[in-house]
């Protein structure tokens, strides 16, 4: 029988008016070492995400620090939380975590598509809605996102979760995502995966990574620093290694860099099972050593493997100090106190129609999708379509009549049903009500082996296309073809799609390609058959409507590529902020000759308007430099243009990239309107670079500034 306590006997840590640090100190003083170890473990409940999600195979531990991947809903979550609060000695609430990358039930564009918008404000708004939905509907208060790894190899499946190849762009979106998730104060973000995970050899997930201290600072660290400065409460360490040590056991990164130099004050959770996998890396397979090494390094919570329940033994053997354990527990408890978990441990139990896919969420999903899509090709200005000219439309392809290609790889609680999305075929019928619309799948679509059924499907599609005035070809990747453990040795189209495109091209009909994808693809030869190519990405629940708005001219496309598209897999890695060639006039490859550049470069994207850039002018100010350039919409359509500011440091003691992004701004410009764009340059921020030891240096010298590579000016800077 539990003893009752009077109000005067209430422990200090339960007093909401007491300072957080005093509450933490009081609670830790009352905890046994076993209870401390439990607080540093993140468990699952049961073996599958059914409503009750509980089994004897994986019993619930109410004293653990967190539960992840629980899909039982707020009511069942509260049932388990109640056990932690009411049936344990200290009543410490749990954090409830799940991967929320681009939405909970309202699916927004995947992260890579979000970066194509060059509009971080939309990311902040969408993540605020995602946090609202996952908390009110699922009781989730810990979103395991954003993923901010800079990706240089499109074969790596997890590019879909990140914000592209540019560190500055990724940093802006990382900060926006953190602000959005944590805006309302009841949900925390988790910036992942710290750090360099995307450097895996050959794009092979979970493989060896090798990168220099310089690459670490130039490419991989900036988005994490931006997330830390935005106030992220948690970060996730990555599977990979750096400088001979697995990241979860790498104190130089987790403590010296992340906490010491970046000022991160939250706690670090490992990726799922990462600690016990250190044995696979040839580091240590001893659970006690894994525990002590990781906790000492600064990895406060272990996800999924229960490894930190070895803490008592590690302390007893002298491999861990109680001071290290207490500091780790304090960091976890601090986040719980900041989120108000002790005062409000239970999630609201509301009907789904009151919490999810509300009008503001649906409206933002459509608005976001409009700005993500990138027009890559538009021969003879075929687009926007003249609905009077094309009265018979053939909609062909494996993604024409499917919902799931648009929802993305991490779709949380959403399903591929009409409640959560729509199809391109249905959207086309709404936008072309007077047209005769016919449909054919054309091929099995997604199989990378030759599919016997493709020939018959292809024949049907050709027959349908022969009777049409124009073909809308819907193709690309399914969501499961990108994401975790979804690397590809090649990034071409599947055989069935290639054969379909070849057959349709022989008809000499206008073809508009609509490509769904979670990465850059390389199919230059097949694209020659298309008169127009619109890159849809995986842009969420309203992607089909946004695509039709662009095709019909209701929306002027404004997306720009956040990654470089190679001509073939042999060009990988290829990215815009590379370092200069030793012999600039030499071709990269004998078999590319004069085409040694990318298929489509970073920042590329067409519009129905043309934008004319004026002369770029740079002047000194009291605080640094100021650049001005005019941008005129010389077309017939109102539109949005992203001005991307590139800086080139011509000569430096440590060689610099040929160019790097230092700022961008998206402008709404009406037809015929001219806008002046001003960039304020802080030399210590924008002209300086990091030495291998992390110290920033600002050298005098010549620089070149470019506005979207349309207008540029050189200048000399000296303090």
d(CA 685, CA 226): 13
d(CA 595, CA 578): 17
Max intra-chain CA distance, the chain: 86
In degrees rounded to 5, what are phi and psi of residue 368?
-65, -45
Task: Tell me the three state secondary structure of residue 317.
Answer: coil
User: Sign of the CA dihedral 433, 437, 441, 445?
Assistant: negative
Show contacts of 326-330: CB within 8 Å, 24+ apart. Answer: 326/28, 326/36, 328/40, 328/267, 328/295, 328/300, 328/301, 329/28, 329/31, 329/36, 329/39, 329/40, 329/300, 330/24, 330/25, 330/28
Helices and strands, number each (H, E), in the chain:
19, 26
Residue 437 to residues 391, 467, 495: CA-CA distances in angstroms? Answer: 8, 10, 26
Preceding amide of 684 cis, omega within 30: no
Strands across the sheet with 302-303, in order? 142-143, 95-98, 66-68, 41-43, 302-303
Q: Which residues are catalytically annotated? A: 271
Q: How far apart are CA 242 and CA 455, in angstroms?
A: 49
Instruction: Decide: 373 and 561 in contact? Cβ < 8 Å.
Output: no
Q: Of 167, 180, 171, which Cα lies nearest the Cα of 227?
A: 171
Measured on CA atoms in the order 258, 259, 264, 269, is the torsion positive or negative?
Answer: positive
Is 262:220 a contact under the CB 8 Å cutoff? no
- Three-class SS state of 271: coil
Q: Would strands 639-649 and 701-707 be described as parallel, antiparallel, or unpaired? A: antiparallel
Contact 704, 676 (CB under 8 A): no
Q: Are 552 and 534 in contact (CB under 8 A)?
A: no
Q: Report whether 535 contacts 376 (CB < 8 A).
A: yes
Angle at 490 between CA 485 and CA 494, to 5 degrees: 100
């Amino acid at each position: 029988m539990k003893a009752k306590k009077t109000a005067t006997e209430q422990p200090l840590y339960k007093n909401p008016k007491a300072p957080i640090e005093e509450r933490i100190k009081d609670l830790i003083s009352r905890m046994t070492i076993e209870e401390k170890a439990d607080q540093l473990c993140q468990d699952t409940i049961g073996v599958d995400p059914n409503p009750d999600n509980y089994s004897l195979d994986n019993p619930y531990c109410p004293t653990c620090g967190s539960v992840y991947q629980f899909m039982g809903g707020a009511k069942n979550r509260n049932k388990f939380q109640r056990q932690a609060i009411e049936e344990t000695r200290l009543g410490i609430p749990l954090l409830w975590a799940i991967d929320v990358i681009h939405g909970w039930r309202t699916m927004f564009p995947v992260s890579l598509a979000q970066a194509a918008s060059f509009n971080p404000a939309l990311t902040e708004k969408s993540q605020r809605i995602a946090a609202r939905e996952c908390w009110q509907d699922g009781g989730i208060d810990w979103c395991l996102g954003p993923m901010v790894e800079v990706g240089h190899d499109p074969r790596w499946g997890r590019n879909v979760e990140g914000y592209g190849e540019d560190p500055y762009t990724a940093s802006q979106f990382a900060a926006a995502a953190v602000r959005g998730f944590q805006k309302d104060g009841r949900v925390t973000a988790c910036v992942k995966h710290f750090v360099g995970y995307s450097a895996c050899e050959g794009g092979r997930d979970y493989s060896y990574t090798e990168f220099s201290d310089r690459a670490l600072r130039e490419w991989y660290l900036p988005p994490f620093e931006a997330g830390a400065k935005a106030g992220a409460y948690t970060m996730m360490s990555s599977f990979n290694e750096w400088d001979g040590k697995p990241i979860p056991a790498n104190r130089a990164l987790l403590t010296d860099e992340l906490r010491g130099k970046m000022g991160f004050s939250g706690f670090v959770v490992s990726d799922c099972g990462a600690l016990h996998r250190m044995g696979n890396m040839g580091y240590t397979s001893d659970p006690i050593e894994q525990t002590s090494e990781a906790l000492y390094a600064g990895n406060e919570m272990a996800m999924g493997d229960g490894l930190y329940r070895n803490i008592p033994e590690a302390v007893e053997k002298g491999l861990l100090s109680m001071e290290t354990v207490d500091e780790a527990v304090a960091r976890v408890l601090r986040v719980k106190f900041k989120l108000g978990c002790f005062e409000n441990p239970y999630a609201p139990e509301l009907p789904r129609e009151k919490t999810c896919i509300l009008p503001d969420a649906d409206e933002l999903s459509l608005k976001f999708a409009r700005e993500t899509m990138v027009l890559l090709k538009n021969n003879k200005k075929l687009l926007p379509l003249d609905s009077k000219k094309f009265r018979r439309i053939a909609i062909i392809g494996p993604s024409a009549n499917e919902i799931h290609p648009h929802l993305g790889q991490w779709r949380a609680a959403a399903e591929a049903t009409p409640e959560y999305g729509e199809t391109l075929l249905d959207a086309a019928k709404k936008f072309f009500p007077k047209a005769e619309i016919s449909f054919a799948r054309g091929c099995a679509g997604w199989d990378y082996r030759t599919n016997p059924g493709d020939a018959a499907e292809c024949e049907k599609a050709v027959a349908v296309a022969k009777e049409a005035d124009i073909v809308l070809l819907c193709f690309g990747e399914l969501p499961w073809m990108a994401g975790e453990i979804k690397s590809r040795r090649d990034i071409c189209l599947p055989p069935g799609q290639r054969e379909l495109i070849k057959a349709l091209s022989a008809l000499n009909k206008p073809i508009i390609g609509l490509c769904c994808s979670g990465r850059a693809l390389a199919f230059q030869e097949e694209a020659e058959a298309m008169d127009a190519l619109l890159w849809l990405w995986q842009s969420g629940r309203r992607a089909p409507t946004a695509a039709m708005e662009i095709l019909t001219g209701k929306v002027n496309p404004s997306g720009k590529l956040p990654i470089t598209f190679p001509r073939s897999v042999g060009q990988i890695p290829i990215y815009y902020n590379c370092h200069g060639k030793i012999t600039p006039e030499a071709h990269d490859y004998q078999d590319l000759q004069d085409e040694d550049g990318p298929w489509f470069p970073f920042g590329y994207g067409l519009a129905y308007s043309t934008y004319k850039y004026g002369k770029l002018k740079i002047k000194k100010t009291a605080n640094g430099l100021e650049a001005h350039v005019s941008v005129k919409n010389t077309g017939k359509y109102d539109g949005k243009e992203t001005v991307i500011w590139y800086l080139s440091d011509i000569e430096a003691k440590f060689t610099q990239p040929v160019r790097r992004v230092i700022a961008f701004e998206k402008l709404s410009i009406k037809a015929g309107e001219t806008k002046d764009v001003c960039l304020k340059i802080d030399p210590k921020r924008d002209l300086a670079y990091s030495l291998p030891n992390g110290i920033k240096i600002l050298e005098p010298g010549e620089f070149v500034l470019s506005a979207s590579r349309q207008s540029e000016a050189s200048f000399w800077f000296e303090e």
